[in-house]
């Protein structure tokens, strides 16, 4: 249900349930949670790319046709990382890029909000349909959306279940880039190249610092020391970066 491979430092994660628009049942969620744990532990990985199989959907959230928990029972048993183990994850320091190739609805939209970067096709659609069926975007949407865009825009989407286009998502600051479907893979490769140019330990430290200090005052955030920051500052890569700059060459990152 989830395909996963690591190729040259990039973890490719695909929700492979196109017959249900890549909706997640409990088994698929468990697979994703295990994959993120594996990705985080693999020091050779500098980026994860998350997408959906087929050409219709990225993910439409929980599979309502599959047996499972609902209501308060669902809320009580939510993973600390939210739907897909990533919508509200704070322990994952590897950057994650969402390759949004169609519908990103409900929990699928929550997953996009949980990613650090997102590239979407022009025909991608985003929205929280939960209120239309008497449910709530409990896996991160209600919490994350007001932190990712303005209050008024967040409440519009949360309260009315209005779907927005990729162009609107870009305007709202919810995706980084919108491209034609034919240009999607090249756009993803362009992001990979840009990210590969930077030190992976520094990137992990940056993400960890952002996650752990978002709720702090500026003074408290400046004094907050994270484990990844200590590793990055004392790494061989930190020395290599300065050396490469002085030698007028591209750095050779080792991730150590």
Q: In Å, what is the CA distance from 103 to each residue of 14, 37, 58, 100, 200?
A: 14, 26, 6, 8, 31
Beta-carbon contacts of residue 12 (< 8 Å; ≥ 6 apart): 3, 4, 5, 6, 48, 49, 51
Catalytic residue among 130, 168, 186, 236: 130
Six-digit token string for 256:
């150590």
Adjacent-strand bridge partners of 121: 179
Annotation marks residue 130 as catalytic: yes
Q: Which two tokens stand for residue 84?
A: 């897909």
Percentages of the chain per state (helix, strand, coil), in multiples of 5 = 45, 15, 35
Closest CA to 221 of 233, 231, 212, 229: 212
Kindly name the residue from 26, 38, 110, 247 that is annotated as catalytic. Answer: 110
Neighbours of 66 (CB within 10 A): 13
Neighbours of 153 (CB within 10 A): 18
Catalytic residue set: 110, 130
């Amino acid at each position: 249900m989830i395909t996963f491979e690591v190729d040259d430092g990039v973890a490719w994660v695909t929700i492979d349930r196109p017959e249900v628009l890549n909706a997640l049942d409990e088994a698929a969620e468990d697979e994703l949670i295990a994959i993120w744990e594996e990705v985080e532990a693999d020091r050779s990985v500098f980026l994860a790319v998350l997408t959906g199989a087929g050409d219709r959907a990225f993910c439409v959230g929980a599979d309502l046709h599959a047996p499972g928990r609902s209501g308060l029972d669902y809320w009580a048993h939510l993973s600390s990382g939210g739907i897909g183990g990533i919508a509200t994850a704070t322990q994952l320091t590897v950057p994650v890029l969402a390759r949004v190739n169609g519908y990103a609805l409900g929990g699928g939209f929550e997953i996009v909000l949980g990613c650090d970067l997102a590239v979407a096709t022009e025909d991608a659609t985003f929205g929280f349909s939960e209120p239309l069926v008497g449910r709530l975007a409990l896996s991160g949407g209600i919490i994350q959306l007001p932190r990712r865009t303005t209050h008024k825009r967040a409440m519009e989407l949360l309260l009315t279940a209005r779907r927005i286009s990729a162009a609107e998502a870009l305007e709202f600051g919810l995706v980084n880039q919108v491209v034609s479907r034919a240009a999607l893979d090249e756009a993803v490769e362009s992001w990979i190249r840009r990210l590969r140019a930077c030190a992976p330990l520094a990137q992990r430290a940056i993400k960890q610092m952002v996650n752990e200090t978002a709720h702090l005052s500026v003074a408290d955030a400046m004094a907050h020391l994270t484990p990844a920051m200590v590793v990055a500052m004392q790494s061989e890569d930190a020395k290599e970066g300065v050396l490469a700059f002085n030698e007028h060459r591209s750095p050779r990152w080792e991730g150590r």
